[in-house]
Amino acid sequence: MGVTILCAGTRGDVEPFAALAREACRRGHLVRLAVSSTSGADLRGLDAVSLRVDYRAFVAEQGVSPLAALRALRTTVRP
């Protein structure tokens, strides 16, 4: 079976999905992992592609306000 895993975030968000992707590959599945370009995760041996999103900048822009987070989602994630 072929599957694509989308995972936006930093290393702590991405590493569990990288482990899942590795295990699925070990079991014979075709797996592509799409991650933010600044995740910092160890993706060696995986078919990994970039979501072309700087997640650190996204988090820095949104701050702690829920309203600011919604605005950032509309301008960053939607496109």
Compute the CA torsion angle 43, 48, 49, 52 (nearest 10 deg).
-30
pLDDT of residue 62: 63
Token pair, residue 45, equals: 């041996």
In whole angstroms, give the CA distance from residue 76 to residue 61: 10
pTM, entire model: 0.68
Tens of pLDDT, residue by residue over 18-30, are 999 999 999 999 9
Every domain of the chain and the residues it spans: 2-77
Three-state SS for 22? Answer: helix
**Is residue 22 a contact partner of residue 45, using CB atoms and an 8 Å limit?**
yes
In whole angstroms, give the CA distance from residue 73 to residue 62: 9
